[in-house]
Amino acid sequence: MIIHDAHSWELDVAGAQEVQRQLAQKLRLQVPGDFRLTSLCGCDVSGAKNDDRVYAVAVVLSYPELTVKEVATAVCPATFPYVPGLLSFREGPPLLKALRRLRAVPDVFLFDGQGLAHPRGLGIASHLGLLLERPAIGVAKKPLVGVYTSPGPEPGDTVPLVYREHQVGTVLRTKRGVKPVFVSPGHLMDFDTATRITLACCRSYRLPEPIRQAHHLSNRLRRGEKISNIY
DNA sequence: GCGACAG
DNA sequence: ATCTTGTCGC
């Protein structure tokens, strides 16, 4: 898919934070009127201690079958350290490289991290959703900001994630007896739709299938294992 | 100043 | 996140 270059990635911490504040003003937390869910794209990046490269994967799944339709990968040297709040500056470049190799244009993108639930309202799902100009959702295993209580025990039970007096996400129980996940809208997305799509993509596991697949494939890519792109 | 801190 | 062994439960 075609993705326009919007800004430099070669920035220091202060410069990256300024870019986030500027981009956050462009976020649209509403689903397009013609939105139809037919395909989803899971995005994830893996890396290792003695390896300064990052391994990105974008995997497209059909909905509601959730079968893999296409896989795109990219390997890049890591150009930015992991700094809480600046994850997209480390994982964004490799993910965009992989996404540009995608033939399909998925209806929605799921990222392993936050969307709105971020110190400046621009987690990786919001940042990349804006650059892609497509609906995006952040699904994180742990919160970055915000306060919350424990959601009920049943799959689908939720509680709001609140930061500075406002809801920034939803704590969602995807599976009984398992820790909840932290869902937040990225771009062209709202709280309810983000939560419902995430839950609809959960099968027998805690994480939604697009992200599970992306996670699995990025690890295989790093280990040099074969990844078939013919489905 | 101290603690917290997506992946 | 990664590293890394065993352990608990379906």
How far, in Å, is the CA of A187 from the C1' of nucleotide C6? 42
Helices A87-100 and A124-132 sit at what angle, rounded to 10 degrees? 40
Per residue of chain A (231 residues), give pLDDT as tens.
999 888 999 999 999 999 999 999 999 999 999 999 999 999 999 999 889 999 999 999 999 999 999 999 999 999 999 999 999 999 999 999 999 999 999 999 999 999 999 999 999 999 999 999 999 999 999 999 999 999 999 999 999 999 999 999 999 999 999 999 999 999 999 999 999 999 999 999 999 999 999 999 999 999 998 887 656
A223 touches strand C (CB under 7 A): no
What is the Cα A46 distance to its own chain's centre? 13
How far, in Å, is the CA of A175 from the C1' of nucleotide C10? 14
A141 touches strand C (CB under 7 A): yes
pTM above 0.85, yes or no: yes
Residues A90 and A117 sit within 8 Å (Cβ to Cβ) = no
Strand partners, A123: none
Q: β-strands A108-111, A68-77: how paired?
A: unpaired
Query: Closest Cα partner for A11 from A3, A21, A1?
Result: A21
A90 touches strand C (CB under 7 A): no
CATH number belonging to the domain at A13-28+35-222, selected among 3.40.50.980, 3.40.50.300, 3.30.2170.10, 3.30.420.40: 3.30.2170.10
What is the Cα A61 distance to its own chain's centre? 15
Would you state the structure tokens that stand for residue A155, as one six-digit string? 């799959």
